[in-house]
A and B are shown apart, each in its own frame.
Chain A
Amino acid sequence: KAGVTQTPRYLIKTRGQQVTLSCSPISGHRSVSWYQQTPGQGLQFLFEYFSETQRNKGNFPGRFSGRQFSNSRSEMNVSTLELGDSALYLCASSLVVGLNTEAFFGQGTRLTVV
């Protein structure tokens, strides 16, 4: 069974630009979560989607947004990029929502803002 697929793997963008990252969950999984990983802040939760609805949102500015499609694929968008947005963005998929579920992570998209 294919794992979580994130595209692209690497991105270089300029300050002020916007970027869209994509995540395809494991087949049958309906929940997708996004995390930002940086050396200084570690792994931080961005948001979670289930059945095309955002269920939870972390403490990030409104420049960070996401959506989920009917096939459970998800995208996250960052507008007006700042240098501090440089990070590894991880997507995780889960079968359902709630306790007693585990998350499977993709390889991540390494975003560099210059």
Chain B
Amino acid sequence: AQSVSQHNHHVILSEAASLELGCNYSYGGTVNLFWYVQYPGQHLQLLLKYFSGDPLVKGIKGFEAEFIKSKFSFNLRKPSVQWSDTAEYFCAVNNAGNMLTFGGGTRLMVKP
């Protein structure tokens, strides 16, 4: 069975700091990769996705992620975070059908 690991459970940053959240998955075949964000009291929203092609994908709100197949990684980055980025971030993998396997999530707090 595939699994997804997010190594940072809690991250605290000051505004304007750079962000990198790690995500590693275990499945060796073709996968789709996603980052979702859950703002307090809101539903899960898609930040970005990787299906194929350019391994550097850009999403909404200035986020980007890089797929490194050899490392089974899909790390999320943002050059300069804002207070409004405070949320929980989930990495997810889909290798068949529509079943998503999620990582444990990373709670990001951005101090103003």
Interface residue total, chain B, C-beta cutoff 8 A: 26
Q: Is the interface of A mostly helix, strand, loop or mixed?
A: strand
Shortest C-beta distance, B21 to chain A (Å), equals 15
Shortest C-beta distance, B39 to chain A (Å), equals 12
Complex contact B46–A97 (CB within 8 A): no
**Which residue of B46, B96, B97, B104 contacts A102 across the interface (Cβ within 8 Å)?**
B46
Say yes or no: A104-B32 contact (C-beta < 8 A), given A42-B105, A97-B98: no
Shortest C-beta distance, B67 to chain A (Å), equals 14
Contact of A106 with B by CB under 8 A: yes
Instruction: Enumerate chain B residues within 8 angstroms of A103, measured Cβ to Cβ.
Output: 46, 98, 100
Q: Is the interface of B mostly helix, strand, loop or mixed?
A: loop
Across the interface, name the chain A residue whose C-beta is closest to B102. Answer: A43
Instruction: Enumerate chain A residues within 8 angstroms of B100, measured Cβ to Cβ.
Output: 33, 35, 43, 45, 92, 103
Shortest C-beta distance, B47 to chain A (Å), equals 11
**Which residue of A44, A94, A106 contacts B98 across the interface (Cβ within 8 Å)?**
A94
| CB-CB contacts below 8 Å: B13-55 with A | 30, 32, 34, 36, 42-46, 49, 51-52
